[in-house]
Amino acid sequence: MDAAADGEIVELPGGDARVVTAARGRRGGLGPELLLRRLLAAGAGVPADDVELVHSCETCGGNHGRPTVGYPTTPSGAPWFVDAGAAGELVVAAAATRRRVGVGLELVSAAALEGVDEAALHASERAALAALDPPEQARARAILWARKSALLRAIGHTGFTEPSTLAVSMPGNDEGIGRIERTVPELGPGWRGVRFHDLAVPGAVVASVAVLV
């Protein structure tokens, strides 16, 4: 995806999902929730202060996972699908009218933390990483984990807790729109339609938005 100006709303392929990225600003004043409120306000034509976000799991009621929207509804009267997150100085928010979305962000680290690759990455992903030069390896690793983080947030409360059992396409081989290559039963038959949209963002951070069918 081409780089977007700070605060510019970008429409993802499919027509119903939009994403906005922005810098936190001085003293970290712009956080994920505020950016998400502004994105929803722009899409629904209501004041940002009127947007109601609910921070409780739809399944268990716990305070985790992506938020839901109490107000407003979509133009058709259905609920919005939304998520937002931040890493470093970057904030990302996504909203869709028909498909679940999840936001994943990761800082690019020169070296993998001990045990993280084994826990987060499929054996095929680890093998592909090993074939890359160190600078490419660090960025590709971060993108893979951002994609999986986005997927976990999009699907919400689930028994799927082993990211290393799932393989996604390698960054650099898919032109910034990733797909699931090896699935798990918990994802059901819709896994072939899942897409990961990597965002062109500045600095030592990567961001991806998962869009489900």
Place of tokens 């898919």: 174
pLDDT at 119 over 60: yes
Terminal CA-to-CA distance of the chain, rounded, Å? Answer: 20
* Burial environment of residue 42 by CB neighbours within 10 A (0 to 12, 13 to 18, 19 or more): middle
pLDDT at 143 over 90: yes
More confident site: 56 or 87: 87
Mean pLDDT (the chain, rounded)? 90
Q: Which residues pair with 91 in a beta bridge?
A: 22, 86
**Rounded distance between C-alpha atoms, residue 72 and residue 27, angstroms:** 29
Domain 9-211 has CATH 3.90.470.20: yes
> What pLDDT score does 56 carry?
81
The pLDDT tens digits for 59-118 are: 777 777 789 999 999 999 999 999 999 999 999 999 999 999 999 999 998 776 667 889
AA identity, residue 158? T
Two structure tokens written together for 101: 């979305």
